[in-house]
Amino acid sequence: MNALCWLGLSAVTWYLAGLYQMEILGIIVLIQIFLFVSMFVISLYLRDKISGTIFVKNGFEERGQEAEGVLRLSNRGRIPMIGLCASIRWHNSLFQTKGRTKVKGNCMPGDQTEEAFCLPTENCGNIRIWAAWMKVRDPMGLFAWKRRLDCQTCLTILPNTDHIGLDGQNLGSLSGGQSGYRSIGPDGTEMDQVRGYRPGDSPRQIHWKLSARYGELMVKQYHREKGGTAVLLAAGDGWGEKNAKEINDFLDTVSAVIRGFLLESWQIRLMWKSSENGELMEYSLLESEEYQEAMDALMKEIGLRKIEKGQERTVASEEEMQVKATLPGNAVLLKLDWDGTLYADGTPVLEAGAE
């Protein structure tokens, strides 16, 4: 019931009290007026005693995974807050998409409460999330006041590599035949240890003699040498023109290549040419935090690209020449085109959609 309905009800009660000369109806009118004024004052009081902050439980999530934001409400007053309603908005800077949702909750006096809400993760990108306003009501719901909230947070949706099918077993072709393992002699002298079989182990690693002796499958485990060095150049072909699926697929492949080489103990650098100052951006990737930072920067770069297709293709060839000039002697140059083809030193080694 809102304030106008309450006033209308009070007017009807006052009319009936005068018509039938009933004292009890007159008392009810006075009570209605008292409650009306009291709720107005209480609503103003509550509006000044509510505050809120917004945050995400994890600043990085993979595309397609569940992401959750949290609105934390604080009641600094001495009256319960019932039926709070906040407007949460978000903006993906990579695809320039926007959205909003409403979060409702209650908050007891001198207490805090947290209300969760779901965030979109169907596309990669940097998502800014903020609380636009909050609506505060009195306990009877007669008055509602909107208050602006100055709180925001960010969420980065990273690529999802589950469907790429790129792992340590096929990195040999990407690295021009280099391997992260020692060569093994026929007598097995390079073997570090023998352990029990685990699901996913290659049948070629099974030590058949020891397996027959112990009555269970035993697997040979070899020493892993430190991998080589590679530079992955993210080609700038048409970044400002691609649709959401093409951008997501491109970022998924970039992520899969990086993760695959990191698992093989390679030192890998991610590079692209900045559209802002024309310089080559470079990120050395050794740990997961560096990977997250690099992908976050790459998605921001793609979101800023507003260059025509023909001009970008010229710039892409210049990028490759600049990167080659800075390569160490034993490094492998990897270049990923928009169609999903990965080149190692100019030779295609991974086609689009290949498993």
Q: Residue-wise pLDDT tens for the chain (355 aa)?
A: 588 899 999 999 999 988 888 889 999 999 999 999 999 999 999 999 999 999 998 889 999 988 999 999 999 999 999 889 999 999 998 888 999 999 999 999 999 999 999 999 999 999 999 999 999 999 998 999 998 888 999 999 999 877 665 544 455 445 444 443 333 333 334 455 677 877 656 676 788 888 888 888 888 765 444 567 888 888 765 666 677 888 888 888 888 888 877 777 778 889 888 877 778 888 888 777 788 889 998 888 888 774 444 444 444 556 666 676 666 666 777 888 777 777 777 777 666 554 4
325/114 Cα distance (integer angstroms): 54
Single pTM value for the model:
0.71
Contacts for 24 with CB less than 8 Å, ≥ 6 apart: none
Torsion of CA 147, 153, 159, 161, to 10 degrees: -100
Q: How far apart are the first and last CA of the chain?
A: 61
How many other C-beta atoms lie within 10 A of the C-beta of residue 149? 20
Query: Is the dihedral angle over the CA atoms 52, 53, 56, 57 positive or is it negative?
Result: negative
- Say if residues 28 and 42 touch (Cβ distance below 8 Å): no
16/310 Cα distance (integer angstroms): 81
Determine the number of helices (DSSP H) and then strands (DSSP E) in the chain. Answer: 7, 17
33/48 Cα distance (integer angstroms): 24
Query: Is the dihedral angle over the CA atoms 204, 208, 214, 216 positive or is it negative?
Result: positive
- Say if residues 123 and 63 touch (Cβ distance below 8 Å): yes
